[in-house]
């Protein structure tokens, strides 16, 4: 009960804090904007971050606003098309299951602990000075740990730590392509592809993004920014957007240059981009029983490699209002691609 109350309180705080920045952007009184935010939450399911990312403060046209997929609709769609039903052959939400099915696309050493004996786990530890350890149902960059052998006394201590923390998957660290150091120097930058597989097996891509992290974790919730990539050229097409998830900045910033390296972002070419798209397309068909997926892809000097597949692909990052013609959302495009227009 306390946890539910805390979650609801955090939701209320996000509207109260968010309304300050949104009122400035809207050039309207804060109570007016707060009322508008709450109204669109209650009536259509848009949360405070939706309001920020979709540019509602600058666009009060209800018909344009309805073209965006709200957090509520996103959850309904994901649960409708990606639900763990009896006909599913594996549980994509579990990292160990996904690793078994998509192991050929990781392009590096991985180890599922459930499928390995103690000796195999110890060998993996001894062969990798640094690796990543993941819990089975981790998400949003949480439940992922960087393990360095130098931080432990011996291999057995690491082994016991893995068991204590319910680790199910080990992955060799990724050394990203040197070119990407210019736009993500502190951690591995990742491509986020969002795909929808139609009933006739056509793969649709929605707002492919280059994510540039801050710190050791590359994830929006954990702190980072992202930019739209042109699927035809593989180049960054728009200034990067830095979400203000804590609602303590200016309600989200657009960045022309990387804040740390100074690299100009628009026009920057992502290495192996076409190869990454082709790999994602192949994977999307392979697990088409989950038709709506967010794919996290790293790029090394050898080419693209899978980090993970998300059965709850983020609804907000693919609908940044400045990334789309007429600043409209993708709601109707996505349900059409999935063939579920009559259900929503």
Query: Beta partners for 235?
Result: 269
> If you write DSSP's letter for every residue of 136-194 in order, what string do you get?
TT--TT-SEEEEEGGGSSSHHHHHHHHHHTTEEEEEEPP---GGGGGT-SSS--EEEEE
DSSP-derived pairing of the beta strands 167-172 and 190-197: unpaired
Q: Does domain 109-172 have CATH number 3.40.1000?
A: no
Q: Which two tokens stand for residue 233?
A: 């050229």
What residue has token string 């660290």? 173
DSSP-derived pairing of the beta strands 203-205 and 110-112: unpaired
Q: Tell me what pLDDT residue 38 has.
A: 96
Q: Tell me what pLDDT residue 253 has.
A: 87
CA distance 80 to 74: 10
pLDDT tens track for 224-238: 799 999 999 999 999
pTM, two decimals, is 0.92
Maximum CA extent, the chain: 65
Domains 78-88+176-343 and 109-172 share a fold: no
CA distance 203 to 105: 18
What beta strand segments (E) does 61-220 contain? 110-112, 130-135, 144-148, 167-172, 190-197, 203-205, 209-213
pLDDT tens track for 11-63: 788 999 999 999 999 999 999 999 999 999 999 999 999 999 999 999 999 99
CA distance 182 to 184: 6
Domain boundaries, the chain: 78-88+176-343, 109-172
pLDDT at 194 over 80: yes
Q: Which two tokens stand for residue 339?
A: 């063939």
pLDDT at 249 over 90: no
pLDDT tens track for 283-307: 999 999 999 999 999 999 999 999 9
The CATH class of 78-88+176-343 is: alpha beta
More confident residue, 138 or 182: 182
Mean of all residue pLDDT scores within the chain: 92
Q: Provide mean pLDDT across the span 235-250.
A: 86
CA distance 228 to 319: 10
């Amino acid at each position: 009960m306390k946890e539910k109350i805390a979650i609801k309180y955090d939701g209320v705080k996000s509207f109260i804090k968010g309304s300050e920045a949104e009122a400035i952007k809207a050039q309207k009184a804060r109570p007016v904007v707060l009322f508008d935010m709450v109204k669109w939450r209650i009536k259509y399911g848009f949360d405070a971050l939706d309001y920020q990312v979709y540019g509602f403060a600058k666009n009060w046209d209800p018909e344009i606003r309805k073209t965006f997929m709200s957090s509520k609709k996103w959850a309904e769609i994901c649960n409708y098309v990606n639900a763990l039903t009896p006909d599913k052959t594996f549980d994509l939400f579990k990292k160990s299951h996904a690793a078994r099915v998509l192991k050929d696309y990781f392009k590096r050493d991985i180890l599922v602990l459930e499928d390995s004996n103690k000796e195999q786990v110890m060998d993996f530890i001894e062969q990798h000075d640094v690796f990543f350890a993941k819990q089975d149902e981790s998400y949003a960059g949480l439940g992922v740990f960087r393990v360095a052998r130098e931080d432990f006394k011996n291999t057995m201590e690491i082994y016991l730590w893995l068991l204590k923390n319910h680790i199910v998957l080990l992955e060799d660290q990724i050394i990203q392509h040197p070119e990407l150091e210019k736009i993500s120097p502190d951690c591995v930058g990742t491509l986020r592809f969002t795909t929808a597989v139609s009933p006739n097996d056509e793969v649709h891509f929605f707002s492919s993004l280059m994510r540039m992290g801050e710190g050791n974790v590359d994830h929006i919730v954990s702190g980072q920014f992202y930019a739209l990539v042109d699927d035809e050229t593989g180049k960054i097409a728009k200034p990067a957007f830095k979400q203000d998830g804590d609602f303590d900045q200016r309600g989200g910033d657009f960045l022309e240059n990387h804040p740390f390296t100074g690299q100009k972002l628009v026009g920057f070419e992502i290495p192996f981009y076409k190869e990454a798209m082709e790999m994602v397309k192949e994977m999307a068909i392979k697990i088409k029983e989950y038709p709506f997926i967010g794919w996290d892809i790293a790029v090394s000097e050898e080419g693209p490699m899978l980090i993970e597949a998300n059965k709850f692909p983020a609804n907000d990052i693919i609908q940044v209002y400045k990334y789309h013609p007429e600043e409209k959302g993708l709601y109707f495009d996505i349900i059409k691609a999935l063939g579920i227009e009559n259900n929503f």
